[in-house]
Chains A and B, each alone.
Chain A
Amino acid sequence: DTAVSQTPKYLVTQMGNDKSIKCEQNLGHDTMYWYKQDSKKFLKIMFSYNNKELIINETVPNRFSPKSPDKAHLNLHINSLELGDSAVYFCASSQDSQGAYNEQFFGPGTRLTVL
């Protein structure tokens, strides 16, 4: 069983479109995260959710919005896609966000290409 899964794995779309990436974890974790890895392979956190509550919101454009229908899911919605949004997006989860010792488990990534 896959611990953290993402769909789709690849997403190619035109500028200006709206798209979503889905993430699901079956680990029973309380916190989920979205990360962006740019073309230089640099990872940066975008959002995290703990029990349906946004606890981190880094300075990302408000075209990006995380949506968590339940504890096991954290979807990423992107409106009005721009060329600079092209990247690999990773979802991750951890037991919780407050403890100092929580390992994060990563999904396989979604490669988004905006044309």
Chain B
Amino acid sequence: KNEVEQSPQNLTAQEGEFITINCSYSVGISALHWLQQHPGGGIVSLFMLSSGKKKHGRLIATINIQEKHSSLHITASHPRDSAVYICSARNYGLSQGNLIFGKGTKLSVKP
């Protein structure tokens, strides 16, 4: 079992829908990252959070440290949001700074 699990694996939505992508992790972490990988392959960091909630435009990320769970929400989704969203946990331990990645959620937003 991967130490970082994402769900769903694939998600298709209609433009305007509210979207939630979930991430659960089993390791002790210092921070959790949400990344966006565009169809062209480039990776962009969306959020890095260790507690509570962060918001950038239509994107909201939350984390519950006790439950070891994070969610990424997209409000008023748009076709340009179509991408793979990757959750990664920065864990403590022997490899400080190590990032463990989920397998990604492929989002497709239809017009």
Chain A residues packing against B (C-beta within 8 Å): 31, 33, 40-45, 48, 50, 55-56, 58, 88, 90, 94, 97-98, 100-106, 108-109, 111
A50 to B98, alpha carbons, bound, how many Å? 13
A94 to B99, alpha carbons, bound, how many Å? 12
A31 to B31, alpha carbons, bound, how many Å? 17
Select which of A40, A42, A56, A105 is within 8 A of B98 by beta carbon. A56
A94 to B45, alpha carbons, bound, how many Å? 11
Q: Count residues on chain B whose CB falls below 8 Å from chain A CBs.
A: 24
Question: Given A56-B98, A101-B50, do A42 and B103 touch, yes or no (CB 8 Å)?
Answer: yes
Contact B45 A55 (CB under 8 A): no
Contact residues of B: prevailing secondary structure: strand
Contact A40 B97 (CB under 8 A): no
B103: chain A residues at CB < 8 Å are 40-42
Question: Given A88-B41, A109-B41, A109-B43, do A103 and B48 touch, yes or no (CB 8 Å)?
Answer: yes
| B44 interface residue (CB < 8 Å to A) | yes
Select which of A43, A50, A100 is within 8 A of B90 by beta carbon. A100
CB proximity to A under 8 Å, residues B35-76: 35, 37, 41-45, 48, 50
